[in-house]
Amino acid sequence: MPLTLIRQDITKIPVDAIVNAANPRLAMGGGVSGAIFRAAGADQLQAAANKVAPVETGHAAITPGFNLPAKYVIHAVGPIYRQAAPDQSRQLLRSAYTESLRLAVANHCLSIAFPLISSGIYGYPKEQALAVATSAITDFLTDHELDVYLTIFDQSSFAVSQDLLGPIASYIDQHYVDAQPDTRRRSIPDDELAVYPAQAPLSQEPLDQLVNTLDDSFATALFHLIDARHLTDPEVYKRANIDRRLFSKIRSNPDYVPSKRTAVALAIALHLSLTDTNDLLQRAGYALSTSQKGDVIMMYFIDRKSYDIYRINEVLFSYDLPLLGS
């Protein structure tokens, strides 16, 4: 189920399907497309692609993966970006992701890896392309169980809004007790700080009424909180970007101790405050620390009641830090 950002060669990822950012003729291209064709065996992949071509923009077709680790290649045709028609471009790009995911599910795939479609020679602004990809994938995962990887070829291929990174860099400067020089950090006056909009707050019950003894384990406290917020298990593990199987382990074993990343992801899924997050983490032997840059970034989001775990992971990824949940 999780969506994971990774910096890896898509042709080497052991998944059921990889996605080729294709042209409508499904002809071998350059860049990532060329690498996929060469790794699969260019002649045999082209012959298979010719049988299902052409493909309209916003749609996708599937072929065998041949010599690739992946069983299938899904050829998704994204739009050429047109600044004069951004809504149409966005809808077509979103459709390319959704149609690829539907093909994967229809062919019984459990895992799939995407490049950032249309962000190369098709000219789609990388920051916007990332936002569309994340939105389309996470919406699909609401109703489907699938491991999805969004592969980033290099740092220049990845862009997070400076309206978000600027305030976070400032927050790190103020709270990270062992701050080191960081080329991404810039000084911003307080009146220019932009805060990513928070989601609507959930009804809050005092934590001490929910888990009022220090003897409660992490799992026991977690499920008290889930019940108090009237959430279902799928709502929680999907918000936390964790696998259903991992969540089942926690559910079935009251003494199960998750990793710190999983514990924080679950706290974020429950929309806990900083105080309540640390209370829950302490039950697993953890705490958020201002000596850890990743922890400070998580504190930034929690402090602002901004609980979009995918956006948090985008920022962690931009700092080359481990992601939450997955």
Judged by phi (left if over 0) then psi (alpha if -120 to 50, else beta), residue 225 lies in alpha
Helix (H, G, I), strand (E, B) or coil at 101: helix
The answer to whether the bond into 54 is cis (omega within 30° of 0) is yes
Closest CA to 45 of 72, 8, 11, 7: 72
Burial class (CB in 10 A: 0-12, 13-18, 19+), 188: middle
**Mean pLDDT, residues 234-263 taken together:** 94
d(CA 243, CA 229): 21
How does pLDDT run across 201-248, given as a tens digit for each residue? 444 455 555 545 556 899 999 999 999 999 999 999 999 999 999 999
Residues 6+ apart with CB under 8 A from 322: 261, 294, 316
Closest CA to 12 of 155, 151, 158, 156: 151
pTM of the model: 0.82
Strands 72-77 and 60-64: antiparallel
How does pLDDT run across 152-190, given as a tens digit for each residue? 865 555 666 666 677 888 888 888 876 454 444 444 344
Q: Residue 326: what pLDDT? A: 64
- Look at residue 50 and tell me whether its pLDDT is greater than 90: yes
Q: Sketch out the chain's domains with CATH numbers.
A: 3-157 (3.40.220.10), 161-326 (no CATH)
Q: Which backbone phi and psi does 161 adopt, to 5 degrees? A: -55, 130
d(CA 62, CA 70): 12
Residue type, 289: S
Helices assigned H by DSSP within 107-200: 126-141, 162-175
- Look at residue 305 and tell me whether its pLDDT is greater than 70: yes
Q: Residue 212: what pLDDT? A: 54
Least confident of 57-66, 83-92, 93-102, 135-144: 83-92
Q: Residue 207: what pLDDT? A: 55
